[in-house]
Amino acid sequence: MSDLSRLIISNLAYNDSFSRRVAPFLSEDYFETRTDKIVYKIVSDFIKEYNTTPTKDAILICLDKIEELNDDSFKSCKDFVDSLQVDEKTDQEWLVKETETYCKERSIYNAIMESIHIIDGKSKSKTENAIQASFPTALQARSTPTFGQATSETSKEDTDSTNK
């Protein structure tokens, strides 16, 4: 797990303003380790369901409900959750820009890896024609408006609809 992925998940979990700006753009596929993916999914699902960030206890309770985790995976996830923290001194604009870059890079990386998997014949369900389909999605992530711009537009639309 990278320091940046840990920083993103920490802030997603415990920094409400950050999570509101970036949550719509994040994907489980952007995280490399199983532990990162599991904790990200718990946090993301919680935010979607309750429209707020979870507490540490809420994350741990959700983690405890995942039956298919073996003891080692559970311990790894629990240790990861225990290590999550937010540094109030972290510049939010810097963090949003770094997260945006991270997402774009991971999207391209994932498309390349999927293409290699297809070319090597390791995909039973996808043919080489699927390679062309994977890159527009990845490249679209590179041309998506910045997290802040999309959020500002969404906030303006929310405000406009509330004022009507």
pLDDT of residue 150: 47
In a domain? residue 161:
no
Between 1 and 64, residue with greater pLDDT: 64
pLDDT tens string 125-154: 776 666 666 665 555 654 455 555 544 444
Q: Mark residue 51 as left, alpha or beta (left: phi above 0; alpha: psi -120 to 50; beta: remaining).
A: left
Q: How many CA atoms lie within 13 A of 63 on its CB side?
A: 27
Alpha carbons 155 and 147: distance in angstroms, whole number: 12
In a domain? residue 164:
no
pLDDT of residue 115: 84
In a domain? residue 163:
no
In a domain? residue 39:
yes
pLDDT tens string 84-118: 999 999 999 999 999 999 999 998 898 888 888 77
Instruction: Report how many domains make up the chain.
Output: 1
Is the pLDDT at 158 greater than 70, yes or no? no
pLDDT tens string 60-87: 999 999 999 999 999 999 999 999 999 9
Average pLDDT value for residue range 158-164: 40
Alpha carbons 65 and 52: distance in angstroms, whole number: 20
Q: Mark residue 121 as left, alpha or beta (left: phi above 0; alpha: psi -120 to 50; beta: remaining).
A: left
Collapsing DSSP states into helix, strand and coil, what is residue 102? helix
Chain position carrying tokens 């999605």: 137
CATH number of the domain enclosing 33: 1.10.860
What is the number of other CB atoms lying within 10 angstroms of the CB of residue 110? 17
**Residue of 13, 10, 32 whose CA lies nearest to 102:** 32
**Encoded amino acid at 155, one letter:** S
pLDDT of residue 59: 98
pLDDT band of residue 122 (cuts 50, 70, 90) is: confident
Look up the domain containing 63 and give its range: 3-156
Q: Is residue 20 within 8 Å of 53, Cβ to Cβ?
A: no
pLDDT band of residue 123 (cuts 50, 70, 90) is: confident
In a domain? residue 162:
no
**Single pTM value for the model:** 0.78
pLDDT tens string 8-44: 999 999 999 999 999 999 999 999 999 999 999 999 9
In a domain? residue 35:
yes
